[in-house]
């Protein structure tokens, strides 16, 4: 799962995945990784039957997770739709591979 999101993000300035640290096993709901600049990468997704959007409530949960993990904006957020907007978010539509129905494993 992390590889799918990171591959979709493809940072043209760094071109290496080694700049990302997986946080999937750290017990966060949305936070899946951080980069060398302490920017967080978040996945808003509960499976193909319950695809979630980036709403104000979800943003508040993301901001809390970012604070708990000592991350700084911008927050890179993957979700189906960008319903709530703020300057702290860099929005990306969830990669097609995930929207097609991959399950979200707890540690990958």
107 inside domain: no
> What is the extent of the structural domain holding 94?
2-99
- Residue 39 domain-assigned? yes
So what's the pLDDT on residue 82? 92
CA–CA distance, 72 with 82 (Å, rounded to integer): 20
Q: Is residue 14 part of a domain?
A: yes
pLDDT, residue 108, reads 42
Give a yes or no: residue 30 inside a domain. Answer: yes
pLDDT band at 76 (very low <50, low <70, confident <90, very high): very high
**Distance of alpha carbon 73 from its chain centroid, rounded?**
13
pLDDT of residue 62: 98
Domain count, the chain: 1
pTM of the model: 0.78
Tell whether 105 is covered by a domain.
no
pLDDT digits (tens, 9 = 90+) for 31-70: 999 988 999 999 998 877 776 899 999 999 999 999 999 9
Spell out the residues 6+ positions from residue 87 whose beta carbon is closer than 8 angstroms to its own: 73, 74
In a domain, 42, yes or no: yes
Confidence (pLDDT) at 3: 66
């Amino acid at each position: 799962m992390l590889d799918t999101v990171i591959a979709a993000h493809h940072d043209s300035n760094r071109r290496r995945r080694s700049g990302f640290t997986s946080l999937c096993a750290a017990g966060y709901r949305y936070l899946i990784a951080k980069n060398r600049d302490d920017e967080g990468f978040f996945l808003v997704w509960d499976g193909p039957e319950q695809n979630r959007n980036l709403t104000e409530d979800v943003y508040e949960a993301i901001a809390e997770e970012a604070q708990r993990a000592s991350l700084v904006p911008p927050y890179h957020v993957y979700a189906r739709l960008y319903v709530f907007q703020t300057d702290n978010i860099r929005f990306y539509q969830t990669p097609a591979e995930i929207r097609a129905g991959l399950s979200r494993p707890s540690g990958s």
